[in-house]
Amino acid sequence: MTLNRVVAITGCDTGLGWAIAARSAREGLITIAGMYHGTDTPAAKALKKLCAHPYPLDVRDAKSVAEFRDYVMTLVTENPRYKLYAVVNNAGIMTIGDYEWQTPDMIESTINVNLMGAMRVVSAFLPDLRRSSGQCSPKPRIINIASHCGQHPLPGFGPYSASKAGLLAWTRALRWEHWTHGLRAVAFIPGGFVASSGIMTNQVAQGTAMLEHLNEEQKLFYGKRIEALTNYLGSSTSQNTTFDSLKDENIIETFAKALLDENPKDLYKVESWRYMFYYNLLKSPLPEGVRYWLIQKFLSFPKDE
């Protein structure tokens, strides 16, 4: 009997999430797309046309995660040829700004969505994935969308880097914990695609909130830097992106390998020549002053006043 493989993906409203849900559906996998903004959006309707199944999901909310899992497993139960094959944790948020600038809500939300959200989803599906491990070939898997920032933390990305470093460490632990069960945990680092996603939609509003959050001494010390960075990021992300803006075939097809390989590796990574050049240099035993200079060149943020 041929099994129809079921894939559940979080954070499918735009950017990478929408692109990989579309790719999964086009591959013929039964794709359930978690949609933070609900199922009545252009993104959700476009996925429906590809025969995907959009479903509301807020990974911060345990009840929402449980309902998402129940919907997925109801599909599996009602269709005897369906088997749960993959859970993909893509939902993520990012705020750019020094740690001291960020509000408690920004910091906690970053950890809550990027790390705890993924943990909630995996906790909900782990028994189901483990049970399906003897029924699926290729091996069933958990795919966690990580980041270069998790491997190489950067200034201005402190909480985000922490959340993604934690995600990478947890993914490795999961892989070994479930190795003998035939279940694989996989990390996927997609590289830079900010201009093709909605991850920085709120950056200008967040810049204003950061400035308002500071006390008078901090405002005097950091105010011009925050305003300069906010203006810079606002102008660099001002173009109107649509839910299907991500067209980078290298990113999409590298994800497809993580999803479809018979024996998936622990890590799949997309790395542009620029990322490779800088990150390899940063691994070298250079003086800290040189490393700092390289990081500033890589980020290309407005210079300090």
Q: What is the pLDDT of residue 296?
A: 92
Quote the crossing angle between the two packed helices 104-111 and 203-213, to the nearest 10°.
130
Q: What is the pLDDT of residue 283?
A: 85
In the numeric block, which tokens belong to residue 241? 């992106």
Task: Mark the ranges of the chain whose per-residue pLDDT is less than 70.
Answer: 1-3, 135-136, 193-197, 236-240, 304-305
Q: Report the alpha-carbon distance of residue 69 to residue 169 in Å, rounded.
A: 24
* pLDDT tens readout for residues 222-265: 999 999 999 988 876 645 678 888 889 999 999 999 999 999 99
- pLDDT exceeding 90 applies to what percent of the chain? 79
Q: 97 near 229, Cβ under 8 Å?
A: yes
* pLDDT tens readout for residues 59-81: 999 999 999 999 999 999 999 99
Q: Report the alpha-carbon distance of residue 89 to residue 122 in Å, rounded.
A: 8
